[in-house]
Amino acid sequence: MIAPDLETTVERLAHLIAGARRIVPFTGAGISTECGIPDFRSPGGLWTRNKPISFDAFLADRAMRDESWRRRFAMEEAFGGAQPGRGHRAVAALHGLGKAPVVITQNIDNLHQNSGIQPENIVELHGNTTYATCLDCAARYELDWIRARFDVDGTAPDCLHCSGPLKTATVSFGQAMPEEAMVRAERAARDCDLFLVIGSSLVVFPAAGFPLIAKRQGAGLVILNRDATEFDDLADLVIRHDIGSVLNKVLDRVMTPSTAH
Ligand SMILES: [Zn+2]
């Protein structure tokens, strides 16, 4: 059902959260837009203007790798300075209460980590763009190090250990999904009693599968997203208000039980 107004919305969501033992927040681009991170897939977003470089193309051609790094560094102003928003802080608060042991995210911006949640409690379905790894030996590299070398001649360095190609730790188009993340996300969805979608339209594979898994196990499903999703009919509560405002108010309500129902 779609909540009619903000007050009713807050009341219903606070009630569901208060009654849940194990919540899985599932976050997408919508939670980070107030932090200045662009929604790549939205109309006018980066990926509609610049055709994404596929994983195969990245591997096959050094020029493509350099172009990929050029684009990444061009986005650094957005990613580098971004701070967690009200939505991230609300999720971190739920985590801190012990209600949401694991957070699943489609985002690559590291903002859940920056909000104080330990990396091992975050499942990143699409990886992380705030550092890089060697595709051959998995050694980790910081972006500043790569950029200092890239800025010299517009060429990205290779791995110091094995000469393999360095790439942001994200999952590219055409690249296999990270197996461990998929397994952990499925397990979290299976074991929760409330699946809370925040800022995702649930269209990008594999996002769509998880709410169904949770629902099939009898969990409640809440969808807090600007736009309609294909799963709205299945949801116990659909909220189309501003994410930060809603979660802020809900958290206030949950933290002060005397005013909750
Ligand atoms: Zn290497």
At residue 106, the pLDDT reads 95
> What is the distance in A from the centroid of ligand 1 to the CA of 165?
7
Give the C-alpha separation, 61 to 67, whole Å.
Answer: 10
The token pair that represents 248 in the structure block = 């802020």
The H-or-E segment that residue 24 falls in is: strand 23-27
Cα distance from N-terminal residue to C-terminal residue, the chain: 19
> What is the distance in A from the centroid of ligand 1 to the CA of 142?
14
β-bridge pairing 122-124 and 127-134 = unpaired
> What is the distance in A from the centroid of ligand 1 to the CA of 132?
11
At residue 204, the pLDDT reads 76
Give the C-alpha separation, 63 to 175, whole Å.
Answer: 19
Instruction: Evaluate if residue 44 carries a pLDDT over 70.
Output: no
Whether 11 and 253 have beta carbons less than 8 Å apart is answered as yes
**pLDDT (tens digit, 9 = 90+) per residue, 115-170?**
999 999 999 999 999 999 999 999 999 999 999 999 999 999 999 999 999 999 99
**pLDDT (tens digit, 9 = 90+) per residue, 174-219?**
898 889 999 999 999 999 999 999 999 998 777 789 999 999 999 9
Tally Cβ neighbours within 10 Å of residue 191. Answer: 15
> How sure is the predictor about 258, in pLDDT bands with cuts at 50, 70 and 90?
low
Place of tokens 């920056």: 114
Instruction: Evaluate if residue 43 carries a pLDDT over 60.
Output: no
Give the C-alpha separation, 38 to 107, whole Å.
Answer: 11
Instruction: Tell me the pLDDT of the chain averaged across its residues.
Output: 92
Tally Cβ neighbours within 10 Å of residue 247. Answer: 30
Give the C-alpha separation, 134 to 249, whole Å.
Answer: 43
Instruction: Evaluate if residue 260 carries a pLDDT over 50.
Output: no
- Mean pLDDT for 230-256 is 93
Q: Which residue has the higher pLDDT, 244 or 260?
A: 244
Give the C-alpha separation, 188 to 23, whole Å.
Answer: 9
Whether 53 and 172 have beta carbons less than 8 Å apart is answered as yes
> What is the distance in A from the centroid of ligand 1 to the CA of 113?
25
At residue 39, the pLDDT reads 76
> What is the distance in A from the centroid of ligand 1 to the CA of 159?
5
> What is the distance in A from the centroid of ligand 1 to the CA of 140?
9
- Mean pLDDT for 10-19 is 96
- Read off the pTM: 0.93
At residue 42, the pLDDT reads 59
Give the C-alpha separation, 13 to 252, whole Å.
Answer: 12
Whether 195 and 211 have beta carbons less than 8 Å apart is answered as yes
Instruction: Evaluate if residue 53 carries a pLDDT over 70.
Output: yes
At residue 214, the pLDDT reads 97
**Catalytic (active-site) positions:** 126
